[in-house]
Structure 1
């Protein structure tokens, strides 16, 4: 180290070129930095959510939660498994053992175990949702779509906003909260149903048999192609024309003779309102490698375009903005760092010469640029924790710079030339 210092002291041009390269590289690194509120931390936790519509907690536990937990017991490296069975939903929270050497393998084994669960009720039409819990997977913005419009128009506006927001670079997905899925209700008349000798089980069975979408294997000629058997209802009028087995000899009669249909929405499990109007909230999650400030900026630009595309009477309000909160936090830390830098210069000027104090103070930005060069290489984000680390390390380094500068200044006061003093 001494030889390197002697070499740079004897070759000032090389020292200035090194300083210049540090500055240029640091400036280039700034443009590739990603901003976050906090660093992305993997909690080594997994959440498995399964929906069983209309089922009480007791059925959820017996028919959904327990079968999945039995599969999870086959996986090694788990610290804790907790489950919550509530109306229509099963949630299983899993903690991976912190001492596990390969937590990614454990998570992969959990995914495979969940995929192998095959004895769930047929009413569970969607596979269990497998989600890893990380600090970067929390919403960066929450929007509310509301207005003096019908439930159908509100739903269509929210789906349109969801579709457009998911196209924005940096957005991972958009979750809807407070929405009600569209439903077609069949309302039977008991008296007319009895007149045609039809029971409710006949109606349910007929609807199930004629509203299907199931895989039917593959067809191979050149490239393999999947084949599906589809027979889902496309319009509500098709339901009324559905033949149902009735009367004593087993003749079929159309459903419309003893029932009617209603185009509506499911019963709400959660209610959302904004400014006194029914609302649907949109929770926006960014991609793991996305920049929170840039992503939020793009979202706000897209919101201005919605004024032209959304139905008349529809409004969008920002309920929560993590981007703004993150920007404020970073600005506070940055302003404190700048104030600290100025105070260092002022104090050095009081005790050293102006020239020596400026040279000593330059060690702060040069060290900062050197650290910024490392950030993109190791995928470190510009966040509150990393900024505090920078400030603390700069505080320690400036102490060394002050001691060295003061010693050089003392030798020069004794009459030594700059080279000998250094």
Structure 2
């Protein structure tokens, strides 16, 4: 380090040119650097999801979870295999041992899963993905004095409009009860057509494989069969063939069952000033810029043309935290620069204070050059690090400047005084 400083003192033109290049490169790199509230942090956790529509939890456990666990158990670098069997879905989560690269472990898991040949033919191909902590950018509230069905339609329409913007890639709905299609069958109809609930559930599964076998409810003389968490249109059920006689006579579900398209009995989860509301959560994914995404959401809210009685409220903007931290950085940098120039000018003169103060923007802006090259971003963590380093840079600038000035007073100005002062 000392040899390089000595070389630059003998070649000041090169030092000035390097400082200029760092400033130019930094200013060019700043617009290319991604901005985000918090980075998308890998959790050293990998998930496997396999779907088997209509299968009971016990069947899912035996035919999906057990073979997948056996295939993954011997992979080096994983621990704590956890599986959950639900109706039609098997979810497996594994932790990556410290010191192993998650992406390599994920690739090995994907190969093992792809080579499995003992999974049910009706099951979808398992999906292997690395768990990543995603960050919400903003939350919108759709407020309306309407029933859940109307509020659901309005929220989905607004979601589709939001996704039309290139800066918005993911929007999730929160606060609505789960949508469901209920099949209401009277006991008289069951006896008249000689049917059972198991036979009806099996017909639904055979004809609409993406629905579940059904959940049975009883209310007075009626029974309800719930058809899955992601139901189809009601017409898909009314036209469904339950039985066909030898002479070709067809018995459709709509001939004896009432199909009701609605929502579960869970209460609304979001309210605003006593009015039912639905939350639209906007997330940043991949290399999206948090400021650009937030501005797109703000423009959407400002330009939204909604019917009377429907309000769209920007409830929270998580990019404000990033803006505040960014503003604090530039404010501290400016204050430190001004105080440094004034302090050094009082004791050492304007020439020395100017050259020392120039090192602050060169160091800070020059450091921004490597951010887009290494994949790092401006976020609340990196900005806080910049603020801490800014204090160190200012402190070192004052100490080095004072030391060089002291040596120049003792031995006279020149290269020797500079080298002696920085030691």
TM-score, normalised with respect to structure 2? 0.76
| Whole-Å separation in 2 of the counterparts to 1:142 and 1:271 | 15
Q: Is 1:166 aligned to residue 166 of structure 2?
A: no
Structure 2: 5+ residue runs without aligned partners? 211-230, 419-423
1:303 to 301, 304, 312: 301
1:78, CA displacement in angstroms?
0.5
Residue 331 of structure 1, CA deviation = 2.4
1:262 aligns with 2:260: yes
Q: CA deviation at 1:106?
A: 0.7
Q: Over aligned residues, Cα RMSD in angstroms?
A: 4.1
Indicate whether 1:378 and 2:374 are aligned. yes
The equivalent residue for 2:24 is: 24
Closer, same or farther in 2 for the Cα pair 1:162/1:49, shift >3 Å? Answer: farther
Please give the alpha-carbon distance, in whole angstroms, between the structure 1 residues aligned to 2:205 and 2:157.
30
Residue 281 of structure 2 corresponds to residue 283 of structure 1? yes
Q: Which residue of structure 2 aligns with residue 387 of structure 1?
A: 383
Matched with 1:216 is none
Matches of 1:412 and 1:360 in 2, distance apart?
Answer: 15
Q: Is the 8 A contact 2:45 2:102 kept in 1?
A: no
Aligned pairs for 1:2-401 (under 5 A) are: 9=9, 13-48=13-48, 65-83=65-83, 91-100=91-100, 102-114=101-113, 116=116, 119=119, 130-135=128-133, 137-180=134-177, 182-211=179-208, 236=234, 239-240=237-238, 242=240, 244-245=242-243, 252-266=250-264, 268=266, 271-305=269-303, 307-308=304-305, 310=306, 312-401=308-397
Q: For 1:328-355, what per-residue CA distance to the aligned partner results, in whole angstroms no more than 9, with x for missing partners?
A: 2332343333333333333323432232
Equivalent in the alignment of 2:217: none
**How many Å apart are 1:257 and its aligned residue?**
4.4
Partner SS for 1:175? strand
Contact 1:67 1:117 in 2 (8 A): no
Tell me the CA shift for residue 248 of structure 1. Answer: 11
* CA distance, structure 1, for counterparts of residue 166 and residue 248 of structure 2: 59
Cα distance, 1:85–1:249 mapped onto 2, change above 3 Å: closer
Tell me, what secondary structure is at the counterpart of 2:136? coil
SS of the aligned residue for 1:174 comes to strand
Question: 1:16-51 deviations in whole A, cap 9, x for unaligned?
Answer: 444333322222222222223344432311244567
TM-score, structure 1 normalization: 0.76
Q: Which runs of 5+ in 1 are unaligned?
A: 214-232
Residue 262 of structure 1, CA deviation: 1.9
Relative to structure 1, the CA distance from residue 74 to residue 408 in structure 2 (aligned partners, 3 Å threshold; closer, same or farther) is: closer
Q: Is the 8 A contact 1:71 1:117 kept in 2?
A: no
SS at match of 2:32: coil
Shift of 1:289: 1.5
Change in 2 beyond 3 A, CA 1:3/1:282: same
Deviation at 1:188, TM superposition (A): 1.9
Moved more, 84-93 or 164-173: 84-93
**What are the Cα deviations for residues 271-323 of structure 1, in whole angstroms up to 9, with x where unaligned?**
33333333332332212212212221112212223x21x55533333344221
Secondary structure (helix, strand or coil) at the match of 1:271 reads coil
| 8 Å Cα contact 1:140-1:323 kept in structure 2 | yes
How far is 1:397 from its partner? 4.2
